[in-house]
Amino acid sequence: MASNEIHEFCSVLNVYLMSRYKYKTPPAYHNIHTVSAGRKLFDLYFRFKVNSCYWRDDTLVIAVIAFNSRRKGNGLNLLEMLSDLPAEFCISKIGIEEANSQSAAFATTFGFKNFSGNNWIIDVVDLRENLNDYPRIRKDKSSTASR
């Protein structure tokens, strides 16, 4: 992996976070294989294209995903932004590492598959399709629940 790839990913993440949360200074920073971003409203930690026993080098891994406000669309919006990255960064899969019960429920909602312990993964093409179907799925679930 070229070091400029992670720098560029960090820059894209900063633009996204600064726009979404109205910050004036960049919240994300990076080192060789990780990107961290934390402020009062969120805590995010990514493993960028790291090749390990669980993750291939074409995978963006979400190691920490936490938002101050839940059920406000923050996770959905983040996944939408991340699903647009692969063309630029050659990322074909997105993973969620060591998910707790809330993160596992989040992963299940968007079609991630459990593959090892508390690790979840999805192909970016499948994630895009699931995100496109999500408003309909959410509407179908709420109408079923009200019956």
- Over residues 67-114, the pLDDT tens digits come to 998 888 999 999 999 999 867 799 999 999 999 999 999 999 999 999
With beta carbons less than 8 A apart as the criterion, state whether 80 and 67 touch: no
Cα-based distances in Å from 144 to 55, 71, 105, 109: 37, 19, 19, 16
Query: In this predicted structure, what is the pLDDT of residue 104?
Result: 94
With tokens 């600064």, the residue in question is 18
In the chain, what are the domain boundaries?
Answer: 3-145
Token duo for residue 56: 């291939």
Mean pLDDT of 40-52: 92
Q: Is pLDDT of 135 > 80?
A: no
**Main-chain phi, psi angles of 59, to 5 degrees:** -115, 135
The pLDDT tens digits of the residues spanning 10-29 come to 999 999 999 999 999 999 99
With tokens 């790291």, the residue in question is 50
Annotation: CATH topology of 3-145: Aminopeptidase (3.40.630)
Q: How confident is the model at residue 136 (pLDDT cuts 50, 70, 90)?
A: low
Q: Angle 1-58-70 (CA atoms, 0-180°, nearest 5)?
A: 110
